[in-house]
Each structure stands twice: as C-alpha cells, then as structure tokens.
Amino acid sequence: MLRTPLFVAHERLNARLTDFAGWEMPLFYAGTAAEHRAVREGAGIFDLCHMGRLELTGEHAVSLLEAITPSSIRRLTVGGCRYTMILNERGGIVDDIIVTRLEEHRYHLCVNAVNRETVLAVLTARATDGVTVTDRTFDTGQIAVQGPDTPEVIAELLGDGPFPKFMRTVQAEWQGHPVSVSRTGYTGEVGVELFAPTAALDSLWEFLLEKAEPCGLGARDTLRLEMGYPLYGHELTADTTPPAAGLGWVVDWKRENLPARAALLNDRREPKQVLCGIRLTKPGVPREGCPVWIDGQVRGVMASGNMGISVGGGIGMAWLPLEYSDPGTEVAVEIRDRKLAAVVEEPPFYGDGTVRRVVD
Amino acid sequence: MAESVRFTRDHEWARNEGERVVVGITDYAQDALGDIVFVDLPEAGRVVAAGDEVAEVESTKTVSAVMAPLAGEILEVNGALAAQPEVINGDPFGKGWLFTLRPADPATLDELMDETAYRAYVEELSR
C-alpha cells in the first residue's frame, strides 16, 4: 500500500488507518465526531497527499482541457481555480477535478486518488505537440486547512500576503519552499488547500498542528455529505453526466464545441434520474445501497449516507426519477429490515457553512 | 449468586446483578467501531434466544449487530442512549449499558468467557 510523506506523523498521533484507493490513510485520530466539530467551529487539517496532482504546460494545454471538460478554461484567469469534470465520449464523468491556472500556459489539476492513473492516461493520449503532462503526485504534497479559524492558523505562512479569495490561489513561501495556497476545500467551511514540495511537508504539518486539529477521512466524508458535495465512485460515475448528477452548472452551455454535447443536452432536457438530498425524519442512519421507497415501490437507491454530525440526523444522497425529486417529497429508506420515513431535501443539509465568507 | 462479568466472542459483556443480567458491548468493540452515532434497542418484554440479534450499534463508519448473550426476556433498555449514543464510547462498561434481561437459565452465564479468557481472546485477535 502507498503511504504519504506524512505517514510517520500520523503514526505518532496514533491515527486509526484505513485503505483508501490503495493508500494507507488516517480514518480518524481523536474520533470522527470531534474532528467534524473542530472543522465546523475552529480549524482542522487533513493530509491529502494521496490525491493526484498533475501539471499541464504549453500553449495548447487550454485546448486539451476544453476538449475533455465542459468548462470554459480559457476564461479562467491566472490564479483562478475551477471545479469541473473530465468527461468520456458519452458525457459520463471520468473524474471531478479542480483546475488551477498557475501561469499563462501552466495548469494544475487536482484529481481523485482513485482516478489518477485514468486521468493521466487520458491526458497523455490526447496531448499534442506543445503540451507537456507531468505527474507531480510524488514530488509534491497537499494539506487542507479547513474551518472558520483558518485565516489565523495560516497567518504566519501568508506573512504580509492576502488571504486568497474564494476559488483563487496565492503563492507563499515556507522555509524557502514555494507553497500554493488555494481557497478550495470539501467541508463547507472557509479553508485552503496547500500545495508544497515534499521536503516542506513535515514542518508545515507540525506548524499547522499547533493551532488546528488533525482530521481523518471519516470527518472528511461526514463534512462533505452535510454540504451535499458529491464523491467520485458514489454520486459520480462514468455512467453519470453532470446534469444528471445535479451538477449541470459546471457545464458552460454557451460553448460551441462541448464534449458529448448531444448527451449533455439530452440529460439537461429530460434526466431519467436525478441526484437528490435525503433526510431521515426518524432516528437512523442511511447507507450507500439502501433502497428508497415512494408510493409503495422502490424508486431509487442511496448513493451515500451517514449520520449528519452537525445537522443531528441521518442524511444522504439518492438517485430518484425526476417526477419524485421535488424537495418535500415523502419517501422511506429501507435500512436492513425496516423502512424509515424521510424527505427529499435540497442540499446543503448544513446551512451555516462559512465557505464563502469574505476574509480581509 | 455472586456478581460476575462474562464475555462473548462477539464482544458483548454480560454482568450478573441478581435477578437480571446487564448487557453491553466491550471496550474492544467500541474502539473498533469508532464514534457511535446511533443505537437501535429491543422492546422490553421481548423473549430472545442466545445469539439472536437484538440491537444495533452504528458508528460513523459501520453498523454492528448486538447479540443476546443468553436466552431470556428483555427487561429494560438504556433509553439515555437515544440522545447520547457516544456514551458507549466513553463508558462501555458503565453508563453505556444497552439492556437488561431475565435469563431463562442463570447457569448459562457461566458458560461464557470470563475476563481472563476474553483478554486472551482479544489479544489473539489483535495479533
């Protein structure tokens, strides 16, 4: 199994470890609930070195990115970050990624660990003259700092520089190493993701640990679920298009040369199934795979589910036919041998997130 | 009958308190589960056989069935766990008890592992 450069630090903190996409990662340290609350109320740090970090350079890099994503990449300014998706020829989602324009002709892609090799293969196969693809996963690392206290936690790292605006990146320096500070995350709170050379990670982690709680993948999952953020392999698959996943907003419909345009338009007009938020109205915990009953029939299935630690009840996401997807629709989730009452709800389930807070 | 605590291979504990036996999950079980967020308890009055699934303990990462360690009738359940299931993590042998039962045959309790045997069993699992 792969280990991140911070593995020894996790062992020192007595982390409970788990296998995630072939990486031996912290599931939790003190406990998922406490870590979840630390992020909602203070600040937490996550080792995200397992995620894929790929770089595209060259004047045709922008064309390559627009050939495989439905976004307008050329409108992204230097220092901007964009959430988008790599699509297959049917419009199915190969991966959901964040593209950051670092320089005029230099782009950074943060991709899911489970899809790193697939994305790398797509990029390499389609790279023409004037585009260079570099896998930076193993010579750089990634640490997320998330929670309302993030600006104080990273103040020393930023020095005199400004805290980045939402979906923007700024450059900082840590002990002589360059650090990209991106205002991105997966928790619904104000926060950043730090990208740095491997050599800088240990001291960066120790510095952050003085002011923030270490958090594992358990809290990462309960936090993202409360916001209704999708997770690849659960809400998003190669058989799902962005509009069917309720993420049609990532598509720039004005683009003439959209990849898989016909399939995307078709799912926009009449999606067969749509991804819906589900909140139990009785005590219980829905899980992936639980059938969803409406009007006496199974109409859908849970894609994800867990206890909402901050919302105080069972929540999740489910695929439902369009006619049953309106917020307020009464459903029942089958959990083992029981059917528990639930209701369709438009995420986020947790409405007090600080993710877009303006930081001066 | 002297007070005694016994253990099952499924990591339940059962403590003899005169007429009734108090049942919970062990420290090993709560630690393996992680943060407990939901507990489903049986109805009082239910008659159960040894090994019957009578409760569910659910953590942020998984769900685990709790078996009746011996045959009998469910007397009381720990209602405080509905609001504070995390008490099981903090005090699995005390405030985190799940239910009590009146054993059909009190002697069957002695057929379960005693503390020494259970410790050895857990050590074997952890190896």
Tell me the mean pLDDT in the region A214-227: 98
Closest Cα of chain B to A351: distance in Å? Answer: 21
Residue A290 near chain B (CB below 8 Å): no
Say yes or no for a CB contact (<8 Å) between A27 and B61: yes
DSSP, collapsed to helix, strand or coil, labels residue B69 as coil
Give yes or no for a contact between B19 and B8, defined as CB atoms under 8 angstroms apart. Answer: no
The 10s digit of each residue's pLDDT in B12-21 is 999 999 889 9
Across chain A, mean pLDDT equals 96
Chain A residues whose CB is inside 8 A of the B82 CB are: 283
Q: What is the pLDDT of residue B110?
A: 93
Cis peptide before A214 (omega within 30 of 0): no
Tokens for A141, please give them.
Answer: 């690392």
Chain A from 91 to 110: CB within 8 A of any B CB: none
Chain A residues whose CB is inside 8 A of the B89 CB are: 31
Domains and CATH numbers, chain A: 7-48+138-226 (3.30.1360.120), 53-135 (3.30.70.1400), 272-354 (2.40.30.110)
Say yes or no for a CB contact (<8 Å) between A32 and B89: no
A285 → closest Cβ in B37, B82, B89: B37
Say yes or no for a CB contact (<8 Å) between B35 and A28: yes
Residue B45's CB is within 10 A of a number of other CB atoms, namely 8
Tell me the mean pLDDT in the region A119-141: 95
- Position with higher pLDDT, B93 vs A244: B93
Chain B residues whose CB is inside 8 A of the A283 CB are: 38, 82
The 10s digit of each residue's pLDDT in A6-33 is 999 999 999 999 999 999 999 999 999 9
A283 → closest Cβ in B60, B63, B82: B82
Is the backbone of residue A320 left (phi > 0), alpha (psi -120 to 50) or beta? Answer: beta
Closest Cα of chain A to B116: distance in Å? Answer: 26
The 10s digit of each residue's pLDDT in A91-104 is 999 999 999 999 99
Check pLDDT > 60 for residue B2.
no
The 10s digit of each residue's pLDDT in A267-299 is 999 888 889 999 999 999 999 999 999 999 999
B35 → closest Cβ in A31, A284, A314: A31
- At which residue do the structure tokens 């509009």 appear? A243
Q: What is the pLDDT of residue A211?
A: 97
Using CA coordinates, name the residue in chain A closest to B38: A284
Give yes or no for a contact between A145 and A186, defined as CB atoms under 8 angstroms apart. Answer: no
Say yes or no for a CB contact (<8 Å) between A33 and B35: yes
Closest Cα of chain B to A334: distance in Å? Answer: 15
Strand partners, B16: B21
Residue A285 near chain B (CB below 8 Å): yes
Q: What is the pLDDT of residue B4?
A: 83
Residue A316 near chain B (CB below 8 Å): no
Using CA coordinates, name the residue in chain A closest to B36: A33
> Cα separations (Å) of A279 from A8, A335, A351?
39, 13, 14
Check pLDDT > 80 for residue B1.
no
Q: What are phi and psi of A152, to 5 degrees?
A: -70, -40
A18, A37, A226, A307: which to substitute to probe chain B, counting the most B Cβ within 10 Å? Answer: A307
Residue A196 near chain B (CB below 8 Å): no
Q: What are phi and psi of B27, to 5 degrees?
A: -60, -40
Q: What is the pLDDT of residue B29?
A: 96
The span from the CA of A231 to the CA of A228, in Å, is 9
Check pLDDT > 70 for residue A306.
yes
The 10s digit of each residue's pLDDT in A35-68 is 999 999 999 999 999 999 999 999 999 999 999 9
* Structural domain containing residue B42: 5-125
Q: What is the pLDDT of residue A115?
A: 98
Q: What is the pLDDT of residue B3?
A: 56
Q: Work out how many domains chain B is built from and give that number.
A: 1
CB under 8 A, 24+ apart: contacts of A169-173: A169/A79, A169/A80, A169/A81, A169/A100, A169/A102, A170/A79
Chain A residues whose CB is inside 8 A of the B37 CB are: 33, 285, 307, 309
Check pLDDT > 90 for residue B25.
yes
Residue A22 near chain B (CB below 8 Å): no
ipTM beyond 0.90? Answer: no
Say yes or no for a CB contact (<8 Å) between B35 and A284: no
Say yes or no for a CB contact (<8 Å) between A218 and B61: yes
Closest Cα of chain B to A93: distance in Å? Answer: 26
The span from the CA of A322 to the CA of A15, in Å, is 42
Residue A71 near chain B (CB below 8 Å): no
Tell me the mean pLDDT in the region B68-87: 96
* pLDDT cut 70: percent of chain A above it: 100
Classify residue A335 by its DSSP letter: E
Tell me the mean pLDDT in the region B120-124: 95
| CATH code of residue B76 | 2.40.50.100
Strand partners, A318: A276, A302
Helix, strand and coil content of chain A, in percent to the nearest 5, comes to: 25, 35, 40
Residue B90 near chain A (CB below 8 Å): no
Q: What is the pTM of this model?
A: 0.93
The 10s digit of each residue's pLDDT in B39-48 is 999 999 999 9
Q: Which residues of A152-190 are buried (b: 16+ CB within 10 A; e: fewer)?
A: ebbeebbeeeebbeebbbbebebeebebbbbbbbbbbbb
Closest Cα of chain B to A225: distance in Å? Answer: 12
